[in-house]
Structure 1
Amino acid sequence: MPDRIALLFAAAPLALVAAVPAAAEEGMWTFDNFPADQVRQAYGWAPDQAWLDRTQAAAVRLTGGCSASFVSPNGLILTNQHCISTCLADNSNAQMDYLARGHVANRLEDELRCPGQQAEVVTAIRDVTQDVRTAIADLTGEALTRARNARIAQLETENCPDRERTRCQVVTLFGGGQYRLYTYRKYADVRLAWAPEARASTFGGDPDNFNFPRYALDASFLRAYENGRPVSTPRHLRWDPRAPREGEITFVVGNPGSTSRGWTQSQIAFEREVALPTTIAVNSELRGRLIRAMSESPEREREGTDRLNSIENSLKVALGRQRALNDQAFSATLAAREADLRQRVAGNAAIGDPWAQVDGAVRAYRDLYMAARFITPSSALYSHAQTLVLAARERAKPNAERLPGFTDSALPLTERRVLEQRPIHPWLDELTLGWSLSKAREYLGADDPDTRLLLGTESPETLAQRLVSGTRLADPAYRRQLWEGGLAAIEASDDPMIRYALALAPRQDELRRQVDEVFSGPLTAAGARLADARFAAFGDSIYPDATFTLRISYGQVRGWQERGRAVPYRTLMGGTFDRATGSPPFDLAPAFAANRNRINPQATFNFVTTNDIIGGNSGSPVIDRAGAVIGTAFDGNIHSLGGNYGYDGSLNRTVAVSTQAIQEALERIYPAPALVRELAARR
């Protein structure tokens, strides 16, 4: 589970603008501003509009935070195993551990529903910059944020009246310099068709994470349904189970989560000095608590594995980013870029000094950060309670006055997530709730008013035990009763978790208003002027920071130099057996061991490219010049973690699993003859 406040700090108002135009192969480009001339100059060829249109129609965003692509005319979706691990865990029980054993559905009726998952495809992108900026006008602080959110809510509702099949989302680009209205065709019924054993996809575990060479079968297939039937997807990527060729051009199409390449020096300083150290410290403790608790029984080990994998991945990301920002040469490069931009626009009265405005906002936020971070406890059951409380309150307001996430356009997904049946493990929820409350007391202080509000006279562990054992929110029928009953039902409820969420809500509201007034609002205003500065300095052929919206990057299959040695561009499936030690996490998946003599040892397993990606690109198709998928991105190398702040083409690499390896698995390791036939069909 991602850290909410860390994500808040990296959200749209902060994704300002980078200070220099993109170098070759740098950039996560929007489809309405693809740098065709730049690609043609580098490779002697570039995709035409028809190529881009076909690719956009096949690209899928998974609302669980990953990317994917349609690869057959029958709604078949290629993504990563780690992107659907929660689906596997949610379908598991003591008798069948799908996460450990994987799943092969050779009949449609055997495909497993994925609770809370939604697949979305972009059908239109429209510029609404002037509309939103007119609504903001000369407003400041909280008033600016409210006016912007109100106009965005109106645009989303007006342009997507069919909320069953479509979703509209206004996206902030360049920190407020541009706004785009994305229209999605959505599929709310997503089912799992094929996934390997967990050890096959996680071979090497945390030691190999963000490293290369890799030997991970991190791939899976979903299927989109509608009205109980697979959807028709005539515009899909062609499956090509071939080995990648060193030096060939590749395109990665997906939804990178967020980058911070446009941050100013004061924002970077805050990240390095406050946000990252806090995240690393608290998540390290959560990891330790979880490992200890999982050791108590095989059942807890099964139930906690997916969460542990997520925590370890997030922790490694934070450590990599801290390492990058502590690197003097890297930090000097970031500072030089800002200085260059400031020099280029010096004296431009229309731009002024937005850097000073950002400096002031960050200074003010330093005083609010810890309270804003820790006022919302971490717990699946508490999250349900908070969502139910906010939904009841916000639905009673006019659409334009609601918080993001509770507007007409966003409510269907919010409702699905809070009402769908999925397992909640009391021991795990109690552990995370107690941990988050103890960290709040540690960082805020025992005598802080917010600590007293959170804990009253109880200890973190006692309060967590009382709330988790006493609540009925694990029952989806009770959650539906509260959702449909609205504010009256919420206020009449005697459920302890609901009462707790109601008690915290006023302080959360106040902190949200303060953050909007001194931080988010000023950053939005400054972001628009910083965008104007960049456009004035470099023109409009530039890419914005990532926002978990559809992007395309270009690059090539290529290794790199690491400490004086060459890192190869690929690994072979036979190398898995050489790397295996027999001890976790380098123990072979049982099906790999059983089928060793059937596996082609020369088949390309994983490979690397120079494509520019970030978290959220997991599951993105790696596409060749012919428009065929030849792999799916599942990771980056360790240098790519600094890619949150800047791209280095000599070091940053995308790590992908080859379609050749996936085909081997479909035919010889986890046989799925129906999928093999479906992928081979040329329609």
Structure 2
Amino acid sequence: MRRALFLAAAAAAPFIITLSTPAAAEEGMWTFDAVPTQQMTKEYGWAPDQKWLDDRRAAALRLTNGCSASFVSAEGLILTNHHCIVSCLQDLSSADQDYVAAGFNAATRAEEKACPGQQAETVTSITDVTKDVQGAIGTLTGAALVKARDARIADIEKANCTDLNTTRCQVVTLFGGGQYKLYQYRKYSDVRIAWAPEFQAAFFGGDPDNFNFPRYAMDAAFLRAYDSGKPVASPQHLQWSPRAPQAGEITFVIGNPGSTQRLWTESQREFQRSQALPMRLILMSEYRGQLLRAMKESADKNREAGDTLFGIENSFKVFNGQLRALNDSAFKAKLAAGEADLRARVNGDASIGDPWADIQAAVDQRLPTYLDANFLSSGPASYSSTAGFARTLVRAAKERAKRNADRKPGYTDSALPLTEKRLLADTPSYGWLEELGVEFWASKAREYLGNDNAHIAALLKGQSPAAFAKALAASKLSDPAVRKQLWDGGAAAIAASNDPMIAFYRTLDPISEQIEADFDQNYDAPVTAAQSKLAQARFAAYGDTNYPDATFTLRLSYGRVAGWKERGADVTPVTHMGGTYDRATGQFPYNMAKAFEAKKGKFDANTVYDFVTTNDIIGGNSGSPVIAKDGSVIGAAFDGNIHSLGGSFGYDGALNRTVAVSTAAIQVGLDTLWPAPALSRELNAKRKKR
């Protein structure tokens, strides 16, 4: 299973204006209660009505592994990306049956297999609770502000979701604290894999083609949601339309973009530029090298670490692209100009004050503690799933003993069902990979913090990183039955456990809690207060032409099918399936999938394969449906082009492109390459009746 460190935000683009100023045409990740229909009408002469929006919202899904998806039949069938479910395939695979390499194709629904730990959610309502949460905050500052905010959020979530088996409530912070919205979800905890192509078809071109175009990738898969052992009824689904996209046509992407920082200040961006991004890139580069070396030792290791490697390489490209964007002189100038424009409009308004100075002070406070936070907040959990289990178990034992309003985020009543589901999922664990991750963390923590650091001394106890990792490798937490026993046993079971990983986190967690308390006091609280003031300033200066930063909640992006100019040459907006044969070299990663080799000449080579649009998306949007004006689905977004990698901070309509796989190509996959006649009939039944 991919490590949390490597779940990256894939991006929108580097070279234009920050959202201190109003959104430009086709820019924006809009919440469903604030869709800019007037702006769309001005741009296109048409905009969707409320019924169109409500129907599409009801079909959209959020996958809790960090992706998006959509219902595409009345019987719970879900379209998403292959790379969004590859961890499911890996969890279900063995040395004898590799579903990642060979793909998965359930001939009947009885053969569809549950994806461990997966959950799908669709938004049922959005309610503004800003006054409620801000009223609880009042004039509080520091840790008291954070405590009051989190307590009120926990109470709102609990009051509005009493049936935790089928519903989930989440209060989302927007505009850095300028708004708070309650999102209510219908959740589906039984999600099964129905169909997936061969890995080499889904990821043809590998890392060299990632974040590039032209592309020739079948990055699509189908899941199905179940309830009480039966496929769920999903009457609000997208109509399948296996047709080629048309150049210039209007497209909508509906999904859950992960995280952007377009509303950050110059001081926050400078922290990313000088501290956070360089650190991430160095660590990822070193760990990737160690992982690649280990993967060469055997075919089993190569298979077992494949998903982890993909996550590292994907994230490395994203963070490297972000750093390059932040160091681009033209981009830096435009970001600075946007902040200067807002400052000028505030012009000494006493009700706003100087939130930029407040944030700078908070950043200054964060700098001396950043290394401790980076290595000690979660410890080796960023590199090891068993370490992640231990951290959750130790923390949950303490938090569950508290009343709901006093618990930390992630451990409240509304959040615990998903935490428990992930913790107890029956997923495979590979001892060598766990040990490699723990040893890497220990070696880097000791290197950066120093062998004489009091925390390092308490944690490593004089052991070398290799010996430390070997000792923790004796943990039994890879067994879900052991985890369940500790979860059910609560604080008493955790205190009595002699599991080495549990013992380690019993020592680390108090250190982590102190780091978190310092962060709440010196950074989170003052930045929340300052961002709330900045939100007031933006609304006063620019009205409702702004959208909030992405928060892995449902958003709508509008655009059109269009290529772009690359170094003076036109990049066409589509590729064709026959181009796979021209691009193939026979050598990885440009070796063809077996089905492509076997079925050459059996399908129309001119079928549109992948295409690009101007939609503004970022990581988390992977798997989002690309929807036509008539409301039908014509593709699934799976990537951005290379220019999109600075999209955390800005958008450029001339260069930024979403990359999607067409439904026309997916239909060829279902009919010819990896035949799934029952799925094909299910998808096309309603269309054929019309």
2-structure distance, mates of 1:141, 1:333: 33
1:427 to 427, 432, 436: 432
Any conservation in 1 of the 2:76–2:224 contact (CA below 8 Å)?
A: yes
1:442 to 439, 447, 451: 447
2-structure distance, mates of 1:608, 1:647: 15
Any conservation in 2 of the 1:171–1:182 contact (CA below 8 Å)?
A: yes
1-structure distance, mates of 2:433, 2:58: 40
2-structure distance, mates of 1:629, 1:103: 23
Range 140-149 or range 451-460, more displaced: 451-460
Q: For 1:133, what is the secondary structure of its paired residue?
A: helix
The Cα shift of 1:472 comes to 1.1
Q: Within 5 Å, give how 1:566-577 maps onto structure 2.
A: 566-577=570-581
Q: Within 5 Å, give how 1:402-417 maps onto structure 2.
A: 402-417=407-422
2-structure distance, mates of 1:441, 1:460: 8
1:589 to 593, 597, 606: 593
1:633 and 2:634 correspond: no
Any conservation in 1 of the 2:8–2:315 contact (CA below 8 Å)?
A: no
Any conservation in 1 of the 2:137–2:149 contact (CA below 8 Å)?
A: yes
1-structure distance, mates of 2:282, 2:435: 20
Partner of 2:14: none
Q: For 1:221, what is the secondary structure of its paired residue?
A: strand
Partner of 2:611: 607
Partner of 2:388: 383
Range 442-451 or range 26-35, more displaced: 442-451
1:3–1:321 distance in 2 versus 1, CA, 3 Å: farther
Q: Which amino acid aligns with 2:67?
A: C
Any conservation in 2 of the 1:33–1:541 contact (CA below 8 Å)?
A: no
Q: For 1:33, what is the secondary structure of its paired residue?
A: coil
2-structure distance, mates of 1:201, 1:249: 26
Any conservation in 1 of the 2:71–2:79 contact (CA below 8 Å)?
A: yes
1:106 and 2:114 correspond: no
Structure 1: which 5+ residue stretches go unaligned? 11-16
Percent identity among equivalent residues? 60
Any conservation in 1 of the 2:60–2:122 contact (CA below 8 Å)?
A: yes
Deviations 1:440-473 (A, max 9, x none): 11221222222223312011111111111x1111
Q: For 2:546, what is the secondary structure of its paired residue?
A: coil
The Cα shift of 1:3 comes to 5.7
The Cα shift of 1:239 comes to 0.2
Any conservation in 2 of the 1:2–1:314 contact (CA below 8 Å)?
A: no
Any conservation in 2 of the 1:191–1:224 contact (CA below 8 Å)?
A: yes
The Cα shift of 1:7 comes to 8.5
Q: For 2:186, what is the secondary structure of its paired residue?
A: strand
Q: For 1:597, what is the secondary structure of its paired residue?
A: coil
Q: For 2:305, what is the secondary structure of its paired residue?
A: helix
Q: Which amino acid aligns with 1:71?
A: V
Q: For 1:312, what is the secondary structure of its paired residue?
A: helix
Q: Which runs of 4+ in 1 moved over 3 A?
A: 1-8
Partner of 1:517: 521
1:674 and 2:675 correspond: no
1:153–1:60 distance in 2 versus 1, CA, 3 Å: same
Any conservation in 2 of the 1:361–1:523 contact (CA below 8 Å)?
A: yes
Q: Within 5 Å, give how 1:476-625 maps onto structure 2.
A: 476-625=480-629
2-structure distance, mates of 1:545, 1:512: 23
Any conservation in 2 of the 1:204–1:585 contact (CA below 8 Å)?
A: yes
Any conservation in 2 of the 1:5–1:372 contact (CA below 8 Å)?
A: no
2:656 to 652, 656, 662: 652
Q: Which amino acid aligns with 1:216?
A: A
Q: TM-score, normalised by structure 2?
A: 0.97
1-structure distance, mates of 2:459, 2:91: 30
Any conservation in 2 of the 1:124–1:184 contact (CA below 8 Å)?
A: yes
2-structure distance, mates of 1:506, 1:447: 19
The Cα shift of 1:599 comes to 2.2
Any conservation in 2 of the 1:424–1:474 contact (CA below 8 Å)?
A: yes
Any conservation in 2 of the 1:123–1:184 contact (CA below 8 Å)?
A: yes
Partner of 1:392: 397
Q: Which amino acid aligns with 1:143?
A: A
Partner of 1:462: 467
Q: Which amino acid aligns with 1:308?
A: L
Q: For 2:522, what is the secondary structure of its paired residue?
A: helix
1:47 and 2:42 correspond: no
Q: For 1:471, what is the secondary structure of its paired residue?
A: coil
Any conservation in 1 of the 2:3–2:308 contact (CA below 8 Å)?
A: no
Any conservation in 2 of the 1:126–1:180 contact (CA below 8 Å)?
A: yes
Q: For 1:234, what is the secondary structure of its paired residue?
A: coil
1:457–1:366 distance in 2 versus 1, CA, 3 Å: same
Quote the RMSD (CA, aligned, Å): 1.3
Number of aligned residues: 675
2-structure distance, mates of 1:420, 1:276: 32
Q: Which amino acid aligns with 1:510?
A: Q
The Cα shift of 1:322 comes to 0.8
Any conservation in 2 of the 1:371–1:450 contact (CA below 8 Å)?
A: no
2-structure distance, mates of 1:622, 1:491: 50
2-structure distance, mates of 1:5, 1:223: 26
Q: Which amino acid aligns with 1:605?
A: Y
1:212 and 2:217 correspond: no
Any conservation in 1 of the 2:19–2:546 contact (CA below 8 Å)?
A: no
The Cα shift of 1:6 comes to 10
Q: For 2:686, what is the secondary structure of its paired residue?
A: coil
1-structure distance, mates of 2:385, 2:471: 15
Deviations 1:550-591 (A, max 9, x none): 000000000000111111100000001000011000000111
Range 215-224 or range 536-545, more displaced: 536-545
Q: Which amino acid aligns with 1:70?
A: F
1-structure distance, mates of 2:364, 2:80: 41
2-structure distance, mates of 1:333, 1:133: 32
1:225–1:49 distance in 2 versus 1, CA, 3 Å: same
Q: Which amino acid aligns with 1:442?
A: E
Q: Which amino acid aligns with 1:402?
A: R
2-structure distance, mates of 1:139, 1:438: 41
The Cα shift of 1:475 comes to 1.0
Deviations 1:358-384 (A, max 9, x none): 000111111111101101223111111
Q: For 2:399, what is the secondary structure of its paired residue?
A: helix
Partner of 1:472: 476
